[in-house]
Amino acid sequence: MLPQKLQQRLRRKRRIRSRVIGTAARPRLSVHRSLTQLRAQLIDDDAKRTIAAVSTKEAKAKMTIEGATKVGVLLAKKAKDAGVTAVVFDRNAYKYHGRVKALAEAARGGGLQF
């Protein structure tokens, strides 16, 4: 049996994923936040492949709001190199504030359209 908090998070994640689907034209920008790293990737759910991926480790950043901003900018640059301009945002059951919000706004500032 999973802890109650984890069950609630997984329930939120399932609810969000039922509505958010990435295609080749608009891939899904998925965010994963752990204690030590922040990862973001662009996923084409139709072809089941990752188009671009970035982490705080790759961006040589710390797990802070500034680090999340670096990850967002780097992801937007990689997306442009891959020919992606529009994405669907998947916050992955995390609240839209703090590091997740900073990543999203930096990606928008880098040229991605949500």
pLDDT tens column, 62-105? 999 999 999 999 999 999 999 999 999 999 999 999 999 999 99
Q: Which CATH number is 51's domain given?
A: 3.30.420.100
- Structural domain includes residue 17: no
- Structural domain includes residue 15: no
Scan for tokens 């939120």, then name that residue: 12
- Structural domain includes residue 23: no
pLDDT tens column, 40-51? 999 999 999 999
26-58 residues labelled b (16+ CB within 10 A) or e (exposed): bbbbbbebeeebbbbbbbbbeeeeebbebbbee
- Structural domain includes residue 62: yes
**Position 47: which residue type?**
A
- Structural domain includes residue 69: yes
Domain assignment of residue 33, given as a range: 28-109
How many domains, the chain?
1
| Summary mean pLDDT of the chain | 95
Question: Could you give the percent of the chain with pLDDT greater than 70?
Answer: 100
